[in-house]
Homo-oligomer: A and B are copies of this chain.
Amino acid sequence: MNKLKQKFLKLIVLGLLLSPLGATSQTDEGALKNIYKTSLTNGMSYLWLDYLSNTIGGRLSGSTNAELAVQYTKRELEKLGLDKVWLQPVMVPKWERGEKEMAYISTNGELDKVNICALGGSVATPENGVKAKVIEVGSHKDLESLGEDKIKGKIVFINRALQPDLINTFEAYGGCSSERYRGAAEASKYGAVGTIVRSLSSRQDDYPHTGSMSYGDLPAEKRIPSAAISTNDAVKLSEALKKDKDLEFFFEMSCQQFDDVQSYNVIGEITGSEFPNEYIIVGGHLDSWDLGDGAHDDGAGVVQSMDVLRLLIENGIKPKRSIRVVLFMNEENGLRGGRKYAEIAKEKGEKHIFALESDAGGFTPRGFSFDGSDLMLKKIDTWRPLFKPYLIHFFEKGYSGADIGPLKNDDILLAGLRPDSQRYFDHHHAANDTFEHVNKRELELGAATMTALVYLVDKYGVEISLEMKDIKD
């Protein structure tokens, strides 16, 4: 390539970086306008979510409801006129809560009922429950200094609240989630007979919030039952302990782990017109916890992702690259679906350039966080002005999503939709994660925002120096 040509190409690249609209055009402004309009006036996401939440309900991996969700979303995708729709088999864990849990505080001969739920993956209590004294800690990291002397035979109560002054509630959640995930395994090492973890909720209320936990490599006989307690009852228990450190806590749970069962990722594809072997995927996870109907986590992401492909079709956009919607199974307690998808993609040598996940609730979208090279991020950032009319302002480097994480390599850009986070952990993994807490417009704005980004990535790619690479010989 001669020097003049090189200079010219450098200028193009520089232009992409510096021009306020990058390589985008008025056509793009119009395309985004149409995409948002179609979603807000003729979206399908809310109707699909209604069915998934209200007709099917909670969809824990391995459950009948999870299978119903697989069948339903496959059927709905088949109606959209995609080029392909298929099921990708994956074996998933199966855990069941059993009967509703029961717990109380026993102090000075009085019993005071509290709201708990088993953490996902916990063993049951013995048939007649566990009753023991309680030792309260702020974190499982405090256990070591307390030692076996003070812990043995007791129930460990991990009372760690989400830090309220963090603006992004996911950061506050991240600061506590290892208490839930590892608390029981750590407490067991010192002879505890159970753990009670304060619910990872931003609110003070009576809902216990479940979520996954793990015993690591503890042998079966060392596994102790582990439950979440509502934030109100965590405060109540802590206050009660201040008055009577010898009070007893009772809880009873009948949860059970079964053998793995067959399940599926649900996949639909519009095959690309120019680069059919370059893949863009958009997805959420089909499974949910069992207490609510999983409307925010992650019914919202599922139906928004389905609507991305439909909104492209409705607006007559014929993608150059192949666009897939992937509805992952088993994000909540295993990530088997995400791992399987990446494994098969690798086996087949499929080149994935972009993956977008929506798994942060169906609230008003604020933007995206991106996980990719700095050059990719610079390119994406030139598209930011196109999103301003839709109040989408957040384009930051950060976490994308659990299901698409296994696809990570140097050539892919990963992204997560970032809705407003303030209410998310009020509902997350609890009985109040239900359809009526999802707002139709907010959900539809999310679907449109995702579609807009997929449209731009398909049109312009994510590599800023793509043209230069192509011309080099």
Question: Which A residues are closer than 8 A to B by beta carbons?
Answer: 36-37, 40-41, 164-165, 167, 169, 202-203, 364, 366, 389-391, 393-394, 420, 422-423, 426, 439-442, 445
Residues B393 and A393 in contact, CB atoms below 8 Å apart: yes
Q: Closest CB of chain B to A279's CB: distance in Å?
A: 31
In the bound complex, residues from chain B placing their C-beta under 8 Å from that of A37 are: 165
User: Knowing A364-B422, A420-B364 touch, does A165 contact B36 (C-beta < 8 A)?
Assistant: yes
A168 to chain B: closest residue by CB: B391
Residues A391 and B366 in contact, CB atoms below 8 Å apart: yes
In the bound complex, residues from chain B placing their C-beta under 8 Å from that of A165 are: 36-37, 40-41
What are 11 A-B contacts defined by CB distance under 8 Å?
Answer: A37-B165, A40-B164, A41-B164, A167-B445, A364-B422, A391-B393, A391-B394, A393-B393, A393-B394, A423-B439, A423-B441
User: Knowing A364-B422, A420-B364 touch, does A167 contact B442 (C-beta < 8 A)?
Assistant: no
Residues B164 and A441 in contact, CB atoms below 8 Å apart: yes
Beyond the given pairs A167-B391, A422-B439, 19 more chain A to chain B contacts, judged by CB atoms under 8 angstroms and listed by A's residue number, are A36-B165, A36-B167, A37-B165, A40-B164, A40-B165, A41-B164, A164-B441, A167-B389, A167-B445, A203-B440, A364-B364, A364-B420, A393-B393, A393-B394, A420-B420, A422-B441, A423-B439, A423-B441, A426-B439
Q: Closest CB of chain B to A435's CB: distance in Å?
A: 13
**Residue among A36, A165, A439 with max Cβ neighbours from chain B (10 Å):** A165
In the bound complex, residues from chain B placing their C-beta under 8 Å from that of A169 are: 441
- Report the bound CA distance from A47 to B312 in whole Å: 46
Q: Closest CB of chain B to A256's CB: distance in Å?
A: 36
A38 to chain B: closest residue by CB: B165
In the bound complex, residues from chain B placing their C-beta under 8 Å from that of A394 are: 391, 393
In the bound complex, residues from chain B placing their C-beta under 8 Å from that of A389 are: 167
- Report the bound CA distance from A215 to B389 in whole Å: 37
Residues B390 and A167 in contact, CB atoms below 8 Å apart: yes
A393 to chain B: closest residue by CB: B393
In the bound complex, residues from chain B placing their C-beta under 8 Å from that of A441 are: 164, 169, 202, 422-423
- Report the bound CA distance from A364 to B36 in whole Å: 22
In the bound complex, residues from chain B placing their C-beta under 8 Å from that of A440 are: 203
In the bound complex, residues from chain B placing their C-beta under 8 Å from that of A422 are: 364, 439, 441-442, 445
Q: Closest CB of chain B to A381's CB: distance in Å?
A: 15
- Report the bound CA distance from A440 to B393 in whole Å: 24
In the bound complex, residues from chain B placing their C-beta under 8 Å from that of A439 are: 422-423, 426
